[in-house]
Amino acid sequence: MRTERLSPCLAVLAAVALVGCGGVSSSTSSTPAPVDVGSGQLQGAGATFPEPYYTRAFFAYNQKYSRVSVNYQAIGSGGGIQQFTKGTVDFGASDVPMTAQEIQAAGGDETVVQLPTIIGVEAIAYNLPGVDKLQLDGPTLAGIFLGTVKKWNDPAITALNSGSKLPGSDIPVVHRSDGSGTTYAFTDYLSKVSPDWQSKVGKGKSVQWPAGVGASGNQGVGQQVKTTEGSVGYVELAYVIQSKLQMAFLKNKAGSFVQASLDGATAAASSLTGVSPTNFSITDDPGAKAYPISSYSWLILRKEQTDLTKGKAVVNLMKWLVTDGQQYGKDLQYAPLPKEAQQFALDQLEKVISGGKPVLT
């Protein structure tokens, strides 16, 4: 059988999109047809918690599919939901799914699709020169953020750190100033371990803080802790590692003192079944190796995509993100989705339509 030779022009173009100077005979080429992933510059906004992961993953996706680019603005979960509701972005990002009230404001249950994308960990960052290992438990941590545990040599802290030389200085508390899924996970945890916190503050993306100063974003909190001696704050693990901050060991529900880690997040997620926008909390997990402040992060998009080309770009990006794209989280200390959560995400993407037909084929 005669084999046709491709011209240099065809050889290059066929590798990219199966288009050539004069066409390629189907009988002589085994290259599969390219997948139509759509095209366009996508606008996204929201959570700072997963921003290092999204930045790396979106860049990798653009290298693979150059016709799709993503402009992601890390403005906090609350800001992401607001921009999504206003229709100024193609997708929103939040570390806590939208509430029923937020969904109604965005158009109702039948207009919104929410899917988990990655699992992150919140570290308790502190700045105490000379104190290389700091141990805290939930009630003591709640006391610090309530403003009832005011000094580093408070009996509640010294009892957990036998042999450590803790200063008698005040504890400057740093918290988020913006609406934040990071804050939701942190206050969700404190509400589980401290009745005082539950009754006086509660949980939410924004709360009335009894003590401390606010900073915007995980990066802002981390920078404030880094530049304020004696301070403490809650910061996503990737930022703690990047900024080389000290981080405390936190007593988990099983009684072990553990630092924030990818393995700890994986352990925390392993016991939750039936993950969904109404069943997602993995804080204070009872597992022996679980880190107690771990959290899913979510992306939000419209069920009805008016622009099919851009709709394909959004949906295929997210399909890739929850499958092949998971590999880009590990080095940044994000845990991959468990198989059940991954399948849930894919099922949600199959609900997205354009012109009455599913966008995914």
Rounded to a whole number of angstroms, the distance between the first and last alpha carbons of the chain is 36
CA distance 351 to 69: 23
Binned at pLDDT 50, 70 and 90, residue 215 comes out as very high
Of the ranges 20-24, 129-133, 178-182, which one carries the lowest mean pLDDT score? 20-24
103-130 residue pLDDT tens: 999 999 899 999 999 999 999 999 999 9
- For the segment 216-226, the average pLDDT, to the nearest whole number, is 95
> Is residue 235 pLDDT above 90, yes or no?
yes
> Is residue 8 pLDDT above 50, yes or no?
no
Select from 239, 281, 283 the least CA-distant residue to 74. Answer: 239
Q: Domains in the chain, ordered, with CATH? A: 40-118+295-358 (3.40.190.10), 121-291 (3.40.190.10)
pLDDT at position 37 is 95
Select from 147, 126, 125 the least CA-distant residue to 229. Answer: 126
Its pTM stands at: 0.85
> Is residue 4 pLDDT above 90, yes or no?
no
Select from 103, 106, 100 the least CA-distant residue to 85. Answer: 106
Helix, strand, or coil (residue 13): helix
> 207 CB contacts (<8 Å, ≥6 apart)?
183, 187, 201
253-308 residue pLDDT tens: 999 999 999 999 999 999 899 999 999 999 999 999 999 999 999 999 999 999 99
18-75 residue pLDDT tens: 333 333 333 344 455 567 999 999 999 999 999 999 999 999 999 999 999 999 999 9
How many degrees, rounded to 5, is the angle at CA 117 between CA 320 and CA 286?
140
Residue type, 69: S
> 320 CB contacts (<8 Å, ≥6 apart)?
61
pLDDT at position 361 is 80
Binned at pLDDT 50, 70 and 90, residue 207 comes out as very high
pLDDT at position 15 is 38
CA distance 176 to 239: 14
CA distance 203 to 200: 10
CA distance 113 to 105: 14
pLDDT at position 29 is 42
Binned at pLDDT 50, 70 and 90, residue 91 comes out as very high
Binned at pLDDT 50, 70 and 90, residue 179 comes out as confident
CA distance 70 to 83: 16
CA distance 9 to 181: 50
CA distance 313 to 317: 6
CA distance 117 to 326: 8
187-206 residue pLDDT tens: 999 999 999 999 999 999 99
> Is residue 243 pLDDT above 80, yes or no?
yes
To the nearest 5 percent, what fractions of the chain are helix, strand and coil? 35, 20, 45
pLDDT at position 1 is 41
Are 91 and 77 in contact, with CB atoms under 8 Å apart?
A: no
